[in-house]
């Protein structure tokens, strides 16, 4: 099939490259000329393991990029992968995807054949039906159903996005009731994947598909906050929270995943999606108390790191290392990074902060230009009075002699990755 993907950010670039890997012909569309130029050169504008290799192997053959929406009528299916950022009240701003949807509609005005428009962006229940679909049809001037709509939420984790697409744990295909053509077409898009992997496929209505994405992320975020709350209690009683987590994870109703207590969740998905579903619930008059509590627990975790540091050394006029700046290993994304909250807290307390991350330092430098950025973890530790480990990059586990270069060897480990315990004032965040 010939697929057009509108939006070449994190999700759009990943799915475009992966659809090409599945054998489809793909046209990526973005209004940013630099992004399009980079894609046509075989590289992404973001760091994601394995993505550049896929782009390089398919660009110019199975995959091309353009700023021109007029190619859309030549394609069979269009995926909308545009950002839906948070407003101040936590609700999502759909203006970007709605504007793109109207542009897609205008491009389709001259097409006589049926066309499927699939929303890949994360939007609250009802958005495809009440905002995005009408924008497409308004642009096309066709209200008769020539354009079909679908929702296919993404479950891509930064750092493993390519693997997550090509080896998913589920596919969710949402179409309008009675639109069998749309359902059949969407199945055909993913047929190379389903035949190869046998992945479970959930076929449902559009609103249910929209909600599944939010429910998925809200559940995982709440699970993390719950284990962090339990970890905080364990800390107060001198109990190893990880031994507790290992035991309860053997219960198949709980499972071991997402039971690593620590500094909390961040990134571009969990904070935005949980805030959005809380806002959507409140709009109906329902107060989601459990989700609000999960956010509260998460927001307090970075402060615990700084509090534990001050038990040993007050940050004022001290040199403090922050190891790990990305919100998780395997990505350069600092959106929702717990490190940003920690850095801000340290600066407010008068510390001199030196940060290190193998790939995310440049992004954090834009937010905190006053911070010193080291080229390596050992360089970041040298001459410091304390260190906080915020992101569990594997290289931090191997640090040993480097702690001896610190003025005051105080380490607060927010991810339980540091192997050395002797000879330093060591504090685990929740154990």
Q: Residue 70 region, left (φ>0) first, then alpha (ψ -120 to 50), else beta? A: alpha
Task: At 58, list the tokens.
Answer: 């398919």
Is 258:231 a contact under the CB 8 Å cutoff? no
The CA-CA-CA angle for residues 169, 181, 176, to 5°, reads: 70
Q: What residues contact residue 366 under an 8 Å CB cut-off, 6+ apart?
A: none
Strands 147-151 and 171-175: antiparallel
Tell me the DSSP string of 318-342.
-EEEEE--SSSTT----TT-HHHHH
Is 105:138 a contact under the CB 8 Å cutoff? yes
Alpha helices in 160-203, H assignment, sequence order: 161-166, 180-197
Task: At 296, list the tokens.
Answer: 């509260």
Choose, from 123, 269, 410, 418, the residue flagged as catalytic: 269
Residue 234 annotated as catalytic: no
Is 287:317 a contact under the CB 8 Å cutoff? no
Measured CA to CA, the distance from residue 324 to residue 395 in angstroms comes to 10
Catalytic sites, residue numbers: 269
């Amino acid at each position: 099939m010939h697929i057009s993907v509108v939006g070449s950010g994190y999700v759009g670039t990943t799915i475009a490259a992966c659809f090409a890997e599945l054998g489809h012909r793909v046209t990526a569309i973005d209004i940013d000329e630099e992004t399009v130029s980079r894609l046509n050169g075989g590289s992404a504008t973001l760091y994601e393991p394995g993505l550049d290799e896929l782009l390089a192997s398919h660009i110019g053959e199975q995959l091309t990029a353009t700023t021109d929406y007029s190619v859309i009528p030549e394609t069979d299916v269009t995926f909308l992968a545009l950002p839906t950022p948070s407003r101040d009240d936590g609700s999502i701003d759909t203006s970007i995807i709605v504007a793109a949807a109207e542009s897609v509609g205008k491009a389709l005005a001259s097409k006589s054949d049926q066309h499927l428009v699939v929303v890949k962006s994360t939007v609250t229940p009802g958005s495809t039906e009440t905002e995005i679909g009408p924008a497409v049809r308004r642009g096309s001037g066709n209200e008769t159903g020539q354009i079909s709509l679908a929702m296919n939420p993404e479950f891509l984790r930064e750092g493993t996005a390519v693997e997550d697409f090509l080896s998913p744990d589920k596919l969710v295909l949402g179409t309008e009731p009675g639109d069998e053509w749309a359902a059949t077409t969407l199945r055909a898009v993913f047929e190379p994947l389903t035949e190869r992997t046998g992945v479970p496929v959930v076929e449902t209505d559009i609103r249910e598909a929209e909600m599944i994405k939010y429910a998925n992320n809200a559940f995982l975020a709440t699970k993390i906050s719950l284990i962090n709350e339990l970890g905080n209690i364990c800390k107060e009683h001198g109990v190893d929270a990880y031994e507790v987590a290992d035991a309860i994870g053997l219960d198949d109703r709980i499972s071991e995943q997402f039971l690593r207590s620590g500094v909390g969740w961040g990134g571009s998905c969990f904070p935005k999606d949980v805030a959005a579903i809380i806002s959507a619930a409140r709009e109906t008059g329902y107060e989601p108390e459990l989700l609000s509590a999960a956010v509260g627990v998460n927001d307090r975790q970075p402060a615990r790191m700084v509090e534990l540091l001050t038990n040993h050394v007050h940050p004022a006029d001290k040199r403090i290392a922050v190891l790990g700046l990305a919100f998780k290993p395997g990505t350069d994304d600092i959106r929702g990074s717990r490190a940003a909250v920690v850095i801000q807290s340290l600066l407010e307390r008068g510390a001199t902060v030196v940060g290190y991350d193998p790939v995310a330092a440049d992004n954090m430098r834009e937010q905190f230009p006053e911070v010193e950025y080291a080229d390596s973890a050992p360089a970041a530790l040298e001459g410091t009075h304390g260190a906080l480990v915020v992101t569990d990059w594997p290289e931090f586990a191997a640090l040993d002699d480097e702690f001896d270069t610190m003025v005051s060897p105080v380490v607060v480990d927010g991810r339980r990755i540091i192997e050395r315990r002797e000879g330093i004032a060591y504090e685990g965040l929740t154990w």
